[in-house]
Structure formats: C-alpha cells, structure tokens
C-alpha cells in the first residue's frame, strides 16, 4: 500500500472519528433495526464471522443477520435463496445490514473504505497479485462496490481491490464514499446473475 501521511495516520483518524460519530448519530436506527431483525428473523440479531483483515489476520466481522435458520427434513440448512426473506433482502439491498461494521472500524479492524473482507477459505485460493488486497484494511465499502458491487466477476473485483491499494488517498476515499451513497440509493449490483449475492470464489478464474 502507498506510504503517505494519509495512509500512516490520516486514514485511521478519519475512520475512527467517523465511526464514533456514526454510531452515536445512528444509534436510534440501530436499535430499531435490531428489534426488527429479532422479530422477523430471530436471534441472534448480529451475524458474526471470522474474516481476513489487513495482512490476512483474522478478525470477527459483525453485521445484522439477514437469513433465517430454516432447515430441510435432513436437518441441513436450506440454500441461501430459501433462507433470505423479503426483510433480509431489504437489509442487503439498502446495505443497512452493514451498519454494525462501524464497530469494527472503531476498533481499528476495518476502514470505511477498502477491499471488502471476504471468507477465510478464499485466502489460500488467491494468486499472489490478488492477495495484495490484504495490504490494506478491509472496508465497509470499496472501489469494487461502487463499480459493480456483486454484478461484476471475481476477477474484476480483485483487480479493483489491488488498484485501490496502489492508489489509496483521501480524495479517492471521499469519492468512493459519495458514490457509495448513490449506489445504495439506486440499489444497483446487489446480486450476481442467478445468485442471491455472489457465487463461491473457487480460484479458477485466475487459473
């Protein structure tokens, strides 16, 4: 990642200041959403999962849950599409499910802007170039999120993640944040074709 005054201390200061302010200002909305999630989707209200952070170091990401625990006759969880009710789809399409990640930002585990934290099992599937996405802290939003979100290929996503790592600056972060608001309002690119979000990354695209 670029070594500048912004990446050394400015970005972290902006992240923590904005996250603290956001958690305070949005606290009534967070409480309301928590109650709605508990009523409509059950408990736990928060979804917690280990994700790779900067340098690939695991951390616990928190989001509002969007899926039920519906299971088939064999006791196995149903496919994602069958466990994602209308309210869960609404939370995802508006990105309201991501708001608890402000706590991850406040703790210094994430940034407002950066490559999205994906699944731990993906780490070993990256090419060396794709793995460079972990040079930066993962973000609530990022370059790939404002230029296609889940409607672009994994290969395109990772290329944008590495491009962000090489170009990170205050100006770029502010542009991404503004575009994020527009993206959420339009609800563009929420899902990939034939999938409720994105298909599994197998690493084959980079072969």
The predicted pLDDT at position 79 comes to 83
Element at 162 (helix H, strand E)? helix 154-167
Q: What share of the chain is helix, strand, coil (3-state, %, to 5)?
A: 55, 10, 35
Range of the domain at 72: 5-206
Q: Residue 62 and residue 101: Cα distance in Å, rounded? A: 6
Q: What is the spatial distance between Cα 179 and Cα 201, in angstroms, rounded to a whole number? A: 26
CA distance 183 to 140: 13
Residue 111's alpha-carbon distances to 45, 65, 103, 205, in angstroms, are: 23, 21, 10, 27
Q: What is the pLDDT of residue 164?
A: 97
Total number of domains constituting the chain: 1
Helix or strand holding residue 40 (H, E): helix 27-41
pLDDT number for residue 188: 61
Q: 74-86: buried (b, 16+ CB within 10 Å) or exposed (e) per residue? A: eeeeeeeeebbee
- The rounded average pLDDT for each run of 10 residues, N- to C-terminus, in the chain (207 residues) is 93 97 97 96 95 97 94 85 90 93 98 96 95 97 84 90 97 95 71 57 65
Burial class (CB in 10 A: 0-12, 13-18, 19+), 11: buried
What is the rounded CA–CA span in Å between residue 184 and residue 54? 26
Entry pTM: 0.89
């Amino acid at each position: 990642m670029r070594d500048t005054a912004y990446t050394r201390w400015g970005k972290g200061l902006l992240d923590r200041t904005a996250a603290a302010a956001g958690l305070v200002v949005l606290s009534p909305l967070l409480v309301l959403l928590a109650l709605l999630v508990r009523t409509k989707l059950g408990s736990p209200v928060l979804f917690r999962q280990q994700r790779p952070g900067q340098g690939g170091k695991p951390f616990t990401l928190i989001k509002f849950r969007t899926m039920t625990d519906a299971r088939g006759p064999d006791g196995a969880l149903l496919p994602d599409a069958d466990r994602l009710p209308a309210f869960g789809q609404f939370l995802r399409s508006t990105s309201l499910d991501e708001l608890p990640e402000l706590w991850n930002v406040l703790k210094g585990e994430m940034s407002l802007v950066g490559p999205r934290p994906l699944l731990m099992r993906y780490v070993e599937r990256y090419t060396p170039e794709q793995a460079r996405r972990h040079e930066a802290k993962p973000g609530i939003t990022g370059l790939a999120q404002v230029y296609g979100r889940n409607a672009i290929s994994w290969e395109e996503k990772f290329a944008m993640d590495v491009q962000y790592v090489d170009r990170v600056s205050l100006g770029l972060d502010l542009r991404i944040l503004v575009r994020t608001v527009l993206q959420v309002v339009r609800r563009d690119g929420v899902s990939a074709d034939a999938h409720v979000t994105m298909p599994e990354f197998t690493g084959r695209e980079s072969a």
